[in-house]
């Protein structure tokens, strides 16, 4: 749902147009998304909020190229994802999108550095360049001293930092974060959110996050509320500020 601003195509990194998604559950047809329109600005920090079953995850998967709409289109960098074949989709996931997961999803058999360089390996980057970039990214997220640790030797917060470094590996247009603080304690979650915000500000990377975490609202540029497969409202942070105290009280 575009807000009142100027609608020039190139300033949007993601455009969602009239997206419907229906699932067949036994004989029942469930409509998970019911005509969603959404434009996401380049460089913005967007949070998608909504109760479970609202269609939040479905929309998130659509934007991430993980699922195809029943009708409607999703554009990333002006490319309609429905038009891509599997190899082109793999290219898109590899180069344009960085994923951050609730459960971190590091490859357990690989070290932090190997995890961060994996997307570069998939992109065909040379081993030397991948290594160099990997070290740089891990240093950026504050893990320069833990390059060769396995995921099991890292705390939850550290694992999520590795995942963030990995998401940045191929200079993506957008980073999709699915409940990035869902498995972290309050303090660590806050640190991860601050790191994401810092990357968003300093590197200009667009961050799209599906979340329940009210701490996220504080730093999001816009918040999209989903209910029953529809966008209920889109709020700017400036509109929200008045309510934050109340929201935080609720969270505490």
Partner 1 sequence: MSTVHPTTGKGAIRKQVQLPLSVAFRIALLNIRVRFLRALITAAGIMLGIAFFVVVRSAGLYAPPLDPNDPTIQETTTRQTWLVVMSLLMSAVGISNSMLMAVTERYKEIGTMKCLGALDSFIVKLFFLESGMLGVVASFIGFFAGWGSVFLINLARLGGAVITAVPLSVLGGLLLQAMAISILLTVIATILPAIRAAKMPPSAALRVEV
The site for partner 1 (CB under 8 A) is made up of 10, 42-43, 57, 61, 64, 66-67, 77, 79, 84-88, 90-97, 99, 101-103, 105, 107-110, 118-119, 121-125, 166, 170-171, 173, 178, 182, 203-205
| Cα three-residue angle 55-228-20, rounded to 5 degrees | 60
Retrieve residue 169's tokens.
């590996």
Report the residue number, 122 or 225, with the smaller CB distance to partner 1. 122
In the complex, the smallest distance separating the C-beta of residue 173 from partner 1, rounded to whole angstroms, is 6
Report the residue number, 67 or 218, with the smaller CB distance to partner 1. 67
What torsion, rounded to 10 degrees, do the Cα atoms 160, 114, 206, 89 define? -120
Report the residue number, 63 or 193, with the smaller CB distance to partner 1. 63
* Distance separating alpha carbons of residues 165 and 104, to the nearest angstrom: 12
Provide the pairing of β-strand 174-178 with 97-100. Answer: parallel
| Cα three-residue angle 46-182-187, rounded to 5 degrees | 95
**Length in residues, the chain:** 252
The partner residues of 33 in beta bridges, in order of sequence, read: 21
Report the residue number, 90 or 236, with the smaller CB distance to partner 1. 90
In the complex, the smallest distance separating the C-beta of residue 235 from partner 1, rounded to whole angstroms, is 25
In the complex, the smallest distance separating the C-beta of residue 96 from partner 1, rounded to whole angstroms, is 7
Report the residue number, 26 or 86, with the smaller CB distance to partner 1. 86
Report the residue number, 90 or 251, with the smaller CB distance to partner 1. 90
* Distance separating alpha carbons of residues 88 and 22, to the nearest angstrom: 24
In the complex, the smallest distance separating the C-beta of residue 163 from partner 1, rounded to whole angstroms, is 9
In the complex, the smallest distance separating the C-beta of residue 121 from partner 1, rounded to whole angstroms, is 6
User: Containing H/E element for 69?
Assistant: none
* Distance separating alpha carbons of residues 49 and 131, to the nearest angstrom: 37
In the complex, the smallest distance separating the C-beta of residue 246 from partner 1, rounded to whole angstroms, is 29
């Amino acid at each position: 749902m575009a807000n009142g601003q100027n609608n020039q195509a190139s300033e949007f990194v993601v455009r969602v147009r009239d997206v419907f998604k229906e699932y067949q559950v036994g004989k029942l047809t469930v409509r998970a998304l019911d005509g969603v329109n959404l434009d996401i600005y380049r460089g913005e920090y967007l949070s998608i909020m909504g109760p479970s079953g609202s269609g939040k995850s479905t929309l998130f998967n659509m934007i991430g190229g993980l699922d195809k709409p029943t009708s409607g289109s999703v554009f990333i960098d002006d490319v309609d994802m429905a038009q891509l074949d599997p190899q082109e989709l793999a290219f898109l996931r590899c180069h344009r999108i960085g994923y951050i997961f609730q459960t971190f999803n590091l490859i357990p058999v690989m070290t932090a550095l190997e995890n961060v360089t994996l997307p570069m390996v998939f992109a065909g980057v040379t081993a030397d360049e991948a290594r160099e970039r990997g070290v740089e990214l891990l240093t950026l997220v504050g893990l320069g001293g833990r390059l060769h640790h396995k995921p099991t030797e890292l705390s939850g917060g550290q694992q999520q930092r590795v995942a963030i470094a990995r998401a940045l590996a191929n200079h993506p247009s957008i980073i999709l974060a699915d409940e990035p603080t869902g498995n972290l304690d309050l303090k660590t979650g806050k640190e991860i959110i601050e790191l994401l915000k810092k990357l968003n500000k300093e590197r200009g990377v667009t961050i799209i996050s599906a979340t329940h975490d009210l701490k996220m609202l504080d730093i999001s540029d816009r918040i999209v509320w989903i209910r029953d497969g529809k966008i209920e409202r889109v709020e700017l942070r400036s509109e929200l500020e008045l309510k934050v105290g109340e929201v935080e009280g609720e969270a505490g």
